[in-house]
Amino acid sequence: MTTIRTRFAPSPTGYIHVGNVRAALYPWLLARQQGGSFILRIEDTDQARFVEGATELILDTLEWLGLDWNEGPRKGGEYGPYFQTERRDIYKQWAQKLIDKGLAYADPYGPEEVQAFREQAKSEKRAFLYRDHRPENPPAWDGSQPLRFKVPEIKRYTWNDPVMGELSAGPEALDDFILIKSDGLPTYNFAHIVDDAEMGITHVIRGLEYISSIPKYLSLYDALEIEYPVLVCLPHIMAADGNKKLGKRDGAKSVQEYREDGYLPEAMLNFLASMGWNDGTEQEVFTRDELIAKFSLDRVQRSGARFDEKRLIWLNGQHIRMLDIDDLYERVADFWPTSAASADETTKKQILALVQDRMKTLKDLPILTNYFFEEPTPDWSMIDDNKQLKKLSRDEIQTYLRATHDALANSAFTPEDIQNTLNQLLETTDQKPGILFSLIRLAVSWAPFSPALNDTLAALGKETSLRRIQAAINSL
The span from the CA of 469 to the CA of 435, in Å, is 16
**Closest separation in Å from C-beta 60 to ligand GLU:** 17
Candidates 8-16, 119-127, 167-175, 390-398; binding stretch for ligand GLU (CB under 6 A) = 8-16
Q: Are strands 203-207 and 230-234 parallel, antiparallel or unpaired?
A: parallel
Q: Does 206 bind ligand GLU (CB under 6 A)?
A: yes
Q: Rounded to whole angstroms, what are the CA distances from 194 to 48, 80, 122, 269?
A: 22, 13, 34, 30
Q: What is the three-class DSSP state of 166?
A: strand
Q: Which stretch binds ligand GLU (CB under 6 A): 5-13, 112-120, 338-346, 366-374?
A: 5-13
Report how many residues bind ligand GLU under the rule CB under 6 A: 6
Q: What is the torsion angle, in degrees rounded to the nearest 10, for the CA atoms of residue 216, residue 222, residue 223 and residue 227? A: 110
Smallest distance, ligand GLU to C-beta of residue 46, A: 9
Report if residue 236 touches ligand GLU, rule: CB under 6 A: no
Q: Could you tell me the smallest distance in angstroms from the CB atom of residue 273 to ligand GLU?
A: 18
- In the residue annotation, 248 being an active-site residue is answered as yes
Other C-beta atoms within 10 Å of 390: how many?
Answer: 9
41: left (phi over 0), alpha (psi -120 to 50) or beta: beta
Is residue 19 part of the contact set for ligand GLU (CB under 6 A)? no
User: With respect to ligand GLU, which residue has the nearer C-beta, 192 or 203?
Assistant: 192
Rounded CA separation 325/287 (Å): 17
Query: Hey, which residues does 8 pair with through a beta bridge?
Result: 40
Please pick, among 248, 310, 348, 360, the residue that the annotation labels catalytic: 248
Nearer to ligand GLU (CB atom), residue 10 or residue 262: 10
10 binds ligand GLU (CB under 6 A): yes
Alpha helices in 124-213 (DSSP H): 188-198
Among 4, 9, 408, 457, contact with ligand GLU (rule: CB under 6 A)? 9
Q: With respect to ligand GLU, which residue has the nearer C-beta, 55 or 270?
A: 55
66 within 8 A of 97, measured Cβ to Cβ: no
Considering only residues 163 through 192, tell me which ones interact with ligand GLU, judged by CB under 6 A. Answer: 192
Q: Which of residues 26-85 bind ligand GLU (CB under 6 A)?
A: 43
* Pair 67, 25: CB distance under 8 Å: yes
The contact set with ligand GLU (CB under 6 A) reads 9-11, 43, 192, 206
Catalytic annotation, residues: 248
